[in-house]
Amino acid sequence: MNTTRRKFLLGVSAAGLGTMALGYLKTFKYLFTFGRRGPKPRFPIYGNVHLPELLKAKAPTNENGNYIVNKDYYYANTVCIGCTTQCGVRIKVDKKTGKVVRVFGNPYNLLSSDPWLDYDKPVKESIFWVSDINESGLTNRSTVCARGNVVFDKLYTRYRVTKPLKRVGPRGSHKWVEIEPEQLIQEIVNGGNLFGEGFVEGLKSIRDINTPIDPNNPEYGPKSNQLGILGTNDDGRKTFIVHRFVKAFGTVNFSGHTSMCGLAMRIGQAAYFGDFKKLPHAKPDFDNTEYILSIGTAPAQAGNPFKRQGKLLARARTEGPLKKIVVVTPTAVNTDNMSIGAKYEWVPVYPGQDLAFVMGLFRYIIENNLYNAPYLSIPSEKAMKAANEVSYTNATHLVIQDQGEDYGKILKDQNGDPYVIDAASNSLQNAKNVRTAVLLVNQQVSLNGKTYHVKSAFELLKEAAFEHSLDEYSQMCGVPKETIVRIAKEFTSYGRKATTDIHGGAMNTVGMYAAYAVAMLGAMVGNLNYKGGMSVHPGPYDAYKGPVYDLLDYDGKVKTHGVRIDRAGFKYQDTTEYKTKKAQGLNPYPAKDKWYPFSNAIESDWIASSAHGYPYSLKALITVNSNPAYAQSGFSNVIEYLKDPKKIPLFIAIDPFINETSTYADYILPDNVLYEEWGAMAPWGAYLTKITTIRYPAIESPNAKFKNGESIYAESFFIELGKALNLPGFGDNALKGADGKTYPLHRPHDFYLRAFENLAMQDTPVPDATDEDIELAGLTNWVPLLKSINGNNWRKVATIMSRGGRYAPYNTAYDGEHLNFKYKKMLNIYNEELGSTKDAITGQYYHGLPKYIEGPICADGSSLWTKVDKNQYSLIAFGYKSNVLSSPNASSDKLRDIKLSTYIDINSKTAKEFGIEYGNLVKVSNPFGQHIIGIVRVKEGITPGTIGIEHGLGRLAEGADTIYINNKKLPAMPLRQTGVNINMLGIQDPARPKGHVLTDFVTGATARNTIPVKIEKIRSLA
Ligand code: SF4
């Protein structure tokens, strides 16, 4: 730099500083001197920053580079619930204040680390392992994502509920009074005129496990089913809540959050894996796959496990064998990275039209014989073993086509063994006796004197795929035909190392079939159980039914039965309603409303079903951290029912915050938050080795306490409530040991510390924790309790707690070229259960395998476009997951500091068409009168003709509204209202009773990704 220019710049700076200094004199004074009110900060430059985890030792230690662990803190391994991934994390807690000051990954836990640390390494070593010493932490990274780094600030928000609240005034009037927990329990158990609005029935009288709800429909079950308990994702506490309370009370009505999250995907995969009960879920083996086709989800942007997938993908595409990842979504995502060039491809698709894209792939693959015919021709497990294969399908099994009661069933003998056409003899044979069966069959066969018209499952798939031309599929999904052809060729060229994934994108009216189709692509290459192929995870170590205790069993546990409030898991054809109509010679179709035989729970149907009394009405609702009013598409259609105590007379919300749903509750019971909670859980998928992550109150809860000294939270409440109701399974002798002895359940630790003991003692028991492990993990104060509950095993339980769970080593992942844990059931090219069941409304058989259905469709099978003017509502709105925000984190202000708002995303072509520019304020409306107002973000990375909204903001509660507690005002924080919520646009299904939202027509999953909308400019904000 020449000296004249340098002097000029210095001059400008000095002059500028001088002018600024006049205005910011006070700030400068504080900046340079830290001379503010209050004590002098610890460091002149860094202020009161916390010291690092490792400190240089004053005297040489001759180990670890002369560094020692900073013992002003303890380092507890627990779980992040920043999103549904539930990563094992490590928290650094200031011993003086008891407050969390930092969150890291847990080096032992594969959700945060890969490689992960050997289980028998001491806690001290785990701290050095991820440190800067010898740059060890560069190799052994243990991370938390942006969200997981900061959400712990919600532990300390002023909007937290710490004492039980009772509403004052009508539901939703935001006025509360604090009450003692004992009063709450007394009132909800016994009922009475609780709100001056008339008598409210208490839980004691609702718990009648013998009297039918409706004697005319005995299959509905006992009156106790009129209590519904609505949870959220399984945060490790579901087993306690379900087995210790729900089943003790005797209700069938428990639900998580699946119908507003990924139900369509789960049932679609379950159809392929042939298990609608356990809902197996497959993921690519990221470490060894060579090609990933990701449809309606994208690693590093969304999906579960969010952080682990992102990490594995980053490694696979740089150091690993991954040649390419193709993401088929309506919006471009964070899976992309400039440095990986052609290894990534984004294929824009119309929302809800993934099915057309995949059926196009099937058409090309089948037409051009690109499928693995020898694999698909294997008809049985015996033939699979003979062929040295590790999975097999029913592609060659024969589906009866004759109309009548056998329609859609697979031709089988009296033992249930299927028949196939043997390729060697061209004759009908039992599959178990055949090595290779004919793949394409469409013929008559004779069996036991009867003739059947049968088609093989693969023939049916071919016919379904050939229903439309590639040009038609291309037009429907918006993906050029050449791209469909190229991807079909690419995918099949990688053989067993080609993999697929799908998740939230399937939340549309035909999403189940899209998910089924995506999973079935794997059968075209035979990738299941192969290294580099698709994996169904090996599951957890069992915490609850283990070598030391059976924590699920107790005397008097109710065998719950009856129809659920959401009509899930039950066939309409088994109801009295159906049978009565049949007996009267009437057409039994349509039923009064939808039934969902393949789904296990559909919480989005609860409120409207109860309001309409079909199948019956709930008398009481308990929500546990659940927030459908924010998270469920179209919930605004049922708010009036939730507000009305006549619809559900008693509503208790267990919630650490007053969210969009609990704001309408009669009572709010505080819950614990994040690292204050108990739990034991397994990851969602994308892991090949056994793992159970645990959490325990690693920091103290600020909540008020019960008289026995236990803080008030979900489990402690259910124990006290169970005792007050005299339910089985609580109090003395409630827990069963494998030694035949019984143990008490008075406090949650009675249950969870024994669950941890089960974990510690199964297979080869874990090593004992050392005194140093215990000290560093902050477990010193736990020792007396561990000794009293776990006896001689107490140090092993301390090991489980100090490592945050139990984890198998990486070397248990593979068995040569196969996965060690193999999914064993037959894969379903045709799902017989699905294909031989009729829809309760249309009376039509469900398709037993994927085929193109044009969405969006209503519950009666009609196109939504027959009720909506397509010219006026020409855009399709969809939601997409945020890589930063997530719905349970409204109370994290730090998270909002990272991402302040969400926007209405449109393509530049769409913007031009509607005369809209970047930054305009616009109104987006659906055809049924609901709208949102937000700011437009114009971007190229979104399919033209669509509107995308990132999920996570647009809040109406949890500090976004003003509330009054004990007449004291807690004012709203306007910043908490930023952004828009796609779910406010969710629509009522015009073919269903009021309040029921548009859903996937088979599973009942809410269809939040295919909402017809229009957009209007309000004004420019420039
Ligand atoms: S992905 Fe991030 S927010 Fe989600 S659990 Fe893991 S660390 Fe927490």
Which tens digit of pLDDT belongs to each residue from 844-881?
999 999 999 998 999 999 999 999 999 999 999 999 99
pLDDT at 321 over 90: yes
Q: Is the pLDDT of residue 915 over 90?
A: yes
96-120: average pLDDT: 97
CA distances from 746 to 229, 717, 730 (A): 21, 11, 7
Mean pLDDT along residues 341-365: 96
Instruction: Average the pLDDT over 642-665 and give the result.
Output: 97
Kindly report, residue by residue over 709-767, the tens digit of the pLDDT.
999 999 999 999 999 999 999 999 999 999 999 999 999 999 999 999 999 999 999 99
Residues 82-102: what's their mean pLDDT?
A: 96
**Section 449-462 average pLDDT:** 97
Question: Measured between alpha carbons, how far is 225 from 249 in angstroms, rounded to an integer?
Answer: 9
Q: What pLDDT does residue 1 have?
A: 39
Please report where in the chains the tokens 């051009």 appear, as a residue.
368
| Placement of tokens 């009942």 in the chain | 1004
Q: Are 875 and 946 in contact (CB under 8 A)?
A: yes
- Is the pLDDT score of 319 beyond 80? yes
Burial 422-441 (b: 16+ CB within 10 A, else e): bbeeeebbbbeebebbbbbb
Residue nearest to atom 6 of ligand 1 (CA): 87
Which residue do the tokens 């309000």 mark? Answer: 1018
**Out of 52-66, 323-337, 467-481, 742-756, which region has the weakest mean confidence (pLDDT)?**
52-66
Q: How far is the CA of 500 from the centre of ligand 1 (A)?
A: 23
What residues does ligand 1 touch, defined as CB less than 6 Å away? 80, 82-83, 85-87, 144-145, 147-148, 306-307
Q: How many angstroms separate the CA atoms of 13 and 16, rounded?
A: 5
Ligand 1 mean position, distance from CA 71 (Å)? 27
**Is the alpha carbon torsion for 204, 210, 211, 213 positive or negative?**
positive
Note whether 306 and 83 are within 8 A (CB): yes
- SS3 readout for 636-694: HHCHHHHHCCCCCCEEEEECCCCCCCHHHCCEEECCCCHHHCCEEECCCCCCCCCEEEE
Cβ(776)–Cβ(121) below 8 Å? no
Count the residues in the chain. 1022
Q: Which residues pair with 988 in a beta bridge?
A: 997
Q: How far, CA to CA in Å, does 338 sit from each of 318, 343, 445, 697, 934? A: 12, 10, 58, 43, 31
For range 172-184, the mean pLDDT: 97
Q: Which atom of ligand 1 is nearest to the CA of 308?
A: 1
Q: Give the CA distances from residue 92 to residues 104, 695, 779, in Å, rounded to whole numbers and listed in that order.
A: 8, 15, 13
Mean pLDDT value of segment 331-359 = 91
Report the pLDDT value the prediction gives residue 43, as an integer from 0 to 100.
Answer: 85
Measured CA to CA, the distance from residue 284 to residue 274 in angstroms comes to 19
What's the pLDDT band for 1022 if we cut at 50, 70, 90?
confident
Label residues 349-387 b or e (16+ Cβ within 10 Å = b). Answer: bbbbbbbbbbbbbbbbbbeeebbeeebbbbbbbebbeee
CB atoms within 10 A of CB 56: 11
| Rounded Cα distance, 289 and 249, in Å | 47
The Cα–Cα gap between 671 and 237 comes to: 12
Residue 25 has pLDDT above 50, yes or no: no
Residue 883 has pLDDT above 80, yes or no: yes
Pocket test residue of 86, 87, 677 for ligand 1, highest count of atoms within 8 A of CB:
87
Q: Ligand 1: distance of its center to the CA of 576 in Å? A: 47
Residue 6 has pLDDT above 90, yes or no: no
Ligand 1 centre distance from Cα of residue 391 (Å): 33
- Out of 145, 232, 684, 892, give the residue to mutate to test ligand 1, the one with the largest number of ligand atoms within 8 Å of its CB: 145
For residue 81, the CA-to-ligand 1 centroid distance in Å is 7
Asked if the model's pLDDT at residue 974 lies above 80, the reply is: yes
What values do phi and psi take at 707, rounded to 5? -60, -25
Q: What is the structure's pLDDT at 909?
A: 97
Residue nearest atom 4 of ligand 1, based on CA coordinates: 83
Choose the residue to mutate in 78, 147, 304, 309 for probing ligand 1, maximizing ligand atoms within 8 Å of C-beta: 147
| Residue 63, pLDDT score | 78
Per-residue pLDDT band for 37 (boundaries 50, 70, 90) equals low
Q: Is the per-residue pLDDT at 34 higher than 60?
A: no
Could you tell me the pLDDT band of residue 17, with boundaries at 50, 70 and 90? very low
Task: Name 227's bridge partners.
Answer: 620
pLDDT score of 12 more than 60: no
- Ligand 1 mutation pick, 142, 306, 309, 881, max ligand atoms within 8 A of CB: 306
**Comparing 299-303, 498-502, 777-781, 918-922, which segment has the lowest mean pLDDT?**
299-303
Which uninterrupted H or E stretch holds 800? helix 794-803
Q: Which two tokens stand for residue 523?
A: 């059968």
Distance (Å) from CA 307 to ligand 1 centroid? 6
What pLDDT does 22 receive?
41
* Cα distances (angstroms) measured from residue 882 to each of 229, 877, 894: 28, 16, 16
Q: How do beta strands 963-965 and 175-178 pair?
A: parallel
* DSSP letter string, 75-121: EEEEE--SSTT--EEEEEEETTT--EEEEEE-TT-TTTBSS---TTS
Q: Model confidence over 285-308: pLDDT tens digits?
A: 999 999 999 999 998 888 899 999
Mutate to test the pocket of ligand 1, among 78, 79, 80 (most ligand atoms within 8 A of CB): 80
Task: Find the 683 Cα to ligand 1 centroid distance in Å.
Answer: 12
* 294/219 Cα distance (integer angstroms): 42
Q: Which atom of ligand 1 is nearest to the CA of 89?
A: 7
- DSSP 3-state of 295: strand
Which atom of ligand 1 is found nearest the CA of 81?
5
Q: How far is the CA of 89 from the centre of ligand 1 (A)?
A: 9
| Alpha-carbon separation of residue 669 from 230, 309, 625 (angstroms) | 14, 36, 10
The DSSP call for residue 437 is B
Mean pLDDT over each residue of the chain, to the nearest integer: 94
Q: Which atom of ligand 1 is nearest to the CA of 307?
A: 1
Q: Ligand 1 center to residue 111 CA distance, Å? A: 9
Ligand 1 centre from 883 Cα, in Å? 10
Residue in 598, 695, 659, 590 with CA at minimum distance from that of residue 235: 695
Check: CB of residue 465 under 8 Å from CB of residue 363: yes
Q: Which of 269, 334, 274 is nearest to 299 (CA)?
A: 334
Is a pLDDT exceeding 50 seen at residue 24? no
User: Which band of pLDDT confidence, cut at 50, 70 and 90, is reported for residue 23?
Assistant: very low
Token pair for residue 967?
């007449």
Find where tokens 């259609």 sit. 637
Contacts for 127-130 with beta carbons within 8 Å, 24 or more apart?
A: 127/53, 127/54, 127/69, 127/75, 127/776, 128/54, 128/64, 128/67, 130/104, 130/105
**pLDDT confidence bin for 38, thresholds 50/70/90:** low
| Best residue for ligand 1 mutational test, from 100, 144, 889 (most atoms within 8 Å of Cβ) | 144
Beta strand 419-422 with 442-447 is unpaired
Q: Ligand 1 mean position to 160 CA, how many Å?
A: 21
The confidence score (pLDDT) of residue 32 equals 46
d(CA 403, CA 678): 54
User: Is 530:822 a contact under the CB 8 Å cutoff?
Assistant: no
Contacts of 363 (CB under 8 A, 6+ apart): 465, 466, 468, 469, 470, 473
Check whether 278 has a pLDDT greater than 80.
yes
Tell me which H or E stretch contains 937.
strand 931-938
Going 182 to 185 to 189 to 191, the CA torsion angle's sign is positive
Percent of the chain predicted with pLDDT > 90: 88
What is the distance in A from the centroid of ligand 1 to the CA of 838? 41
Beta bridge partners, 1015, equal 924
